[in-house]
Amino acid sequence: MSRGSASVLAVGLVGVSGLLVAATGAVGYAVATRVALDAAADAAALAAADALAGFVADEPCAVARRAASLNGARLAECDTDGAIVDVVVDTAVMGFHVSSRARAGPADG
């Protein structure tokens, strides 16, 4: 090995380690955002179902839109069929479009 080549190797290893740490952080952030988006979809669907059942005095999709927004998401779709509501919420994560879907309604319906 040439004199000083170990320090070049060490700098390379530190650089690769830094990239791995950054990639791990990015993946962790994406997973955490996805979990939060799933929760936002659930909250929006449940809020809309409450409106359909008459527990909230507003239009179901308007209630779902507010619930999604309060949870950091955008309501992309809202469909009702009887007492069942289906919602899709979305957001952008590191430049990528991510969406989550949820359904809510009475247990017997």
Parallel, antiparallel or unpaired: strands 96-104 and 74-81: unpaired
**CB 73 within 8 Å of CB 91:** yes
Instruction: List the domain boundaries for the chain.
Output: 5-104
**pTM, entire model:** 0.78
pLDDT tens-place string over residues 6-34? 788 888 888 888 888 888 887 888 888 88
d(CA 40, CA 18): 33
**CB 67 within 8 Å of CB 44:** yes
pLDDT of 4 > 70? The answer is: no
Task: Name the CATH code of domain 5-104 (choices 3.30.1300, 3.90.120, 1.20.120, 3.90.480).
Answer: 3.30.1300
pLDDT tens-place string over residues 52-67? 999 999 999 999 999 9
